[in-house]
A = this chain, B = another copy of it.
Amino acid sequence: MNRLNYKHLYYFWRIATTGNLTAAAEQLHVSQSALSMQLKQLEHQLNVQLFTREARSLSLTREGAKILEYAEEIFSAGEALEQFIASGFDADRIHLNIGVLTNLSRNFIEKFVGPLLAQDKITFTLHTQSMEQLLENLANHELDLALTNLLPPQLPGKTKWQSQLVSRQQLAIIGPEDCEAQKQPFPTGFAKYHWILPKQGTEIRNIFDTLCSSEQFKPQILAEADDMAMLRLLTRDSGALSVLPPVVVQDEIANHHLKVIQPLPHAYEHFYAITLQHKRQNPGVRTLFTLSP
């Protein structure tokens, strides 16, 4: 009469929520064979088939789905406990681990998380990471939330993400304060300027490139970067034009070092908050969504 093995059950929970043994193994930093064995042992001890091994993927059986409900209850309580311990034994005090894509505008991030600073019961840590790291750490349950300007890929058989559009920033052509104001709409009169642009492949660049090619415009590109903080500095110090959401250079605009030369119609950068769907959503995440504009 052996007792339930919670380690096995935890693995089962992670496999089931990930929907994929290989991905779960990566997230848990164990080999796929080890996971497979532990899962098999759980099934043997409970004397239940948890997954049907069909095709080359696992899908929950009826029994597995029911057991998953209990596992959800158990391990979401467990995560709440971890939260509670991490927050120094103050039940109301919440700590959020927020991941941000390295190349996002710091000003934008601050705008988004700023409201939390007023909440003295909520603290947070910002982790700037690549998209791959963000997704891995969300899956790991080491991040509560990730901020990106790209939707994550929804691969079949991989972890499912819950993405929420949290902001839409209109793009604009930014230039030095002393740049002659362009009354004419882009691209008329812009041929003589140099450009600092987001790197190829970024959303902003794609939008701008599309615009350029439809207008038969060939910008003289002085420099490229994928990091908004870097673009901000380059734009400030180069005297060239750039295409950015004004929030990136809001300080320079306020200081009259830079100005918005012309907003681009129908051109927006999108910001997404990505989470795992979770039965017991982190209350800090909820308040963040309600607080943010």
Contacts and interface: CB of A to CB of B under 8 A. Distances in A.
Interface in A77-112: 77-78, 80-82, 84-85, 89, 91
Contacts of A4: 78, 81-82
B1 A142 contact: yes
How many of chain A's residues touch chain B, expressed as a range?
20 to 34
A84 B71 CA distance: 12
A7 interface: yes
A10 interface: yes
Nearest to A28: B3
Contact of A74 (B1, B48, B62, B81): B81
A124 interface: no
Contacts of A67: 81, 84-85
A117 to B, nearest CB: 25
Contacts of A1: 142
Interface string A1-36: 101101101100000000000000000000000000
Contacts of A121: none
B85 A78 contact: no
Interface in A179-233: none
A63 interface: yes
Contact of A77 (B46, B62, B77, B82): B77
A70 interface: yes
B6 A85 contact: no
Contacts of A48: 85, 89
Interface of A: 1, 3-4, 6-7, 9-10, 46, 48, 62-63, 66-67, 70-71, 73-74, 77-78, 80-82, 84-85, 89, 91, 142
29 contacts: A1-B142, A3-B82, A4-B78, A4-B81, A4-B82, A6-B7, A6-B10, A7-B7, A9-B78, A46-B85, A48-B85, A48-B89, A62-B89, A66-B84, A66-B89, A66-B91, A67-B81, A67-B84, A67-B85, A70-B77, A70-B78, A70-B80, A70-B81, A73-B77, A74-B74, A74-B77, A74-B78, A74-B81, A77-B77
* 8 tightest A-B CB contacts, nearest first: A6-B6, A70-B81, A73-B77, A74-B77, A63-B89, A74-B74, A4-B82, A46-B85
